């Protein structure tokens, strides 16, 4: 199954200083990436709040970035303003390219056939590993718990047309698969008020060995002086099998009669057939197996921390 995800933004950082420029700004190690590898990272304010999350892909001429929907132009301008003596050029590729997400046991073969890439090389890609195949870039992602690949191509690409012809899913299905995998989405489960540790991004997006980056002082203070304690945690909730109504974002969550959080996104889980949600829960109630309820009495169990 596949779906068009072209609303996500795509930036290009070209030049010999591209990796070091980004490395000094974002939370993950970029200079340590080999060509053909990638990293997930956050760009923070000095107060440790998120400006955006990014997938950064090292190429032989620089770095490509996937950024949240609707933010590419603004981020391109903000990055450009931070360039001083560095030899790097930032451009927004979003309008001239498309992106299609393909997931499932046969996803690697479908993508390889459509793009002309070597099937064994596609299959062997690690998460955020990527390769060029003619005018296309194939990226392995962790959007879902299934084997998942994203293809970037020019607007006129015949390969994208081929992928579209096999489309049997909508973005709503991929949204449900995302929630089932407990993956937060910026603009939905994370905002500019979010500290990445609240959203479970420590292991995936934050290097604890690299040098300084914007907002590092706040992250280090929480991890080393505060024992990693944050006020709330983003968690996955699995509703009782009798619940068949998907709760709206903003629905409050209660432990006994005390409000302890609220839902940020929800869907019917494609694999489980149960209503699933992501939501922030106060740390005092954020325990796996904890039963919470909504104001209308629907019960849900905390089944995973977001990551």
Q: Which of 139, 164, 179 is the last residue of a domain?
A: 179
Q: Which has the minimum average pLDDT: 153-167, 204-218, 277-291?
A: 153-167
134 and 46 within one domain: yes
- CATH number for the domain spanning 238: value is 2.40.30.110
Is there a domain that residue 191 lies in? no
Q: Is residue 168 part of a domain?
A: yes
Same domain, 134 and 270: no
pLDDT of 156 over the 90 cut: no
Average pLDDT over residues 12-22: 98
Q: Is residue 78 part of a domain?
A: yes
Q: 237 and 162 in one domain?
A: no
Confidence of residue 165 (pLDDT cuts 50, 70, 90): low
Residues 24 and 149 grouped into a single domain: yes
| 305 CB neighbour count, 10 Å cutoff | 15
pLDDT band at 174 (very low <50, low <70, confident <90, very high): confident
Residue 228 has pLDDT above 70, yes or no: yes
pLDDT in tens, 82-113: 999 999 999 999 999 999 999 989 899 989 99
Same domain, 37 and 168: yes
CATH number at residue 60: 3.30.1360.120
> Of 115, 149, 179, which marks where a domain is finished?
179
Note whether 163 and 253 are same-domain residues: no
108: in domain: yes
DSSP the chain: -EEE-TTSEEEEEESTTHHHHHHTTBSS--TTPPTT-EEEEEEE-TTS-EEEEEEEEE-SSEEEEEE-TT-HHHHHHHHHHT-SS---EEEE-GGGEEEEEEESTTHHHHHHHHHT--HHHHHHPPTT-EEEETTEEEEEE-SSSS-EEEEEEETT-HHHHHHHHT----HHHHHHHHHHTT---BTTTB-TT--TTTTT-HHHH--SSS---TTHHHHHIIIIISTT--SEEEEEEEE-TT--SPPPTT-EEEETTEEEEEEEEEEE-TTT-SEEEEEEEETTT--TT-EEE-TT--EEEEEEE--
Clarify whether residues 126 and 245 are in a common domain: no
Q: How far apart are CA 71 and CA 114, in angstroms?
A: 29
| Domain-embedded: residue 185 | no
Is 192 inside a domain boundary? no
- Is pLDDT of 168 > 60? no
The whole domain housing 166 covers: 2-179
Q: 293 and 160 in one domain?
A: no
CA distance 12 to 19: 11
Domain stops at, among 179, 194, 212: 179
- For 201-215, letters b (16+ CB in 10 Å) and e give bbebbbbeebeebbb
249 phi, psi to nearest 5 deg:
-60, 140
* Residues 264 and 164 placed together within one structural domain of the fold: no
In a domain, 22, yes or no: yes
Same domain assignment for residues 251 and 132: no
Would you tell me how many other CB atoms lie within 10 Å of the CB of residue 53? 26
Each residue's pLDDT tens digit, 40-85: 999 999 999 999 999 999 999 999 999 999 999 999 999 999 999 9
Total of domains in the chain: 2
Quick check: is 238 in a domain?
Answer: yes
pLDDT score recorded for residue 74: 98
Same domain, 8 and 148: yes
């Amino acid at each position: 199954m596949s779906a068009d995800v072209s609303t996500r933004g795509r930036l290009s950082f070209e030049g010999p200083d591209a990796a070091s420029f980004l490395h000094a700004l974002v939370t993950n190690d970029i200079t340590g990436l080999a060509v053909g590898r990638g990293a997930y990272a956050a760009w923070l304010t000095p107060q440790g709040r998120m400006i955006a999350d990014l997938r950064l892909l090292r190429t032989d001429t620089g770095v490509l970035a996937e950024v949240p929907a609707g933010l590419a132009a603004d981020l391109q301008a903000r990055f450009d303003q931070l360039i001083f003596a560095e030899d790097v050029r930032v451009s927004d590729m979003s309008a001239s390219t498309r992106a299609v997400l393909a997931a499932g046991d046969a996803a690697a073969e479908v993508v390889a056939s459509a793009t002309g890439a070597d099937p064994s090389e596609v299959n062997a890609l690690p998460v955020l590993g990527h390769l060029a195949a003619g005018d296309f870039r194939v990226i392995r992602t962790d959007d879902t718990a299934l084997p998942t690949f994203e293809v970037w191509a020019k607007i006129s690409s015949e390969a994208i047309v081929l992928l579209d012809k096999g489309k049997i899913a909508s973005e709503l299905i991929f949204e449900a698969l995302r929630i089932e995998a407990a993956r937060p989405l910026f603009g939905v489960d994370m905002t500019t008020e979010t500290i990445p540790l609240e959203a479970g991004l420590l292991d995936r997006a934050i290097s604890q060995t690299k040098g300084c980056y914007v907002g590092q002082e706040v992250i280090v203070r929480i991890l080393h002086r505060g024992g990693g304690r944050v006020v709330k945690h983003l968690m996955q909730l699995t509703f009782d099998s009798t619940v068949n109504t998907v709760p709206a974002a903003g629905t409050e969550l209660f432990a006994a009669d005390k409000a302890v959080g609220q839902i940020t996104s929800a869907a019917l889980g494609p694999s489980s057939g149960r209503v699933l949600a992501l939501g922030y829960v106060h740390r005092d109630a954020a325990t796996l197996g904890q039963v919470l309820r909504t104001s209308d009495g629907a019960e849900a169990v905390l089944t995973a921390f977001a990551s």
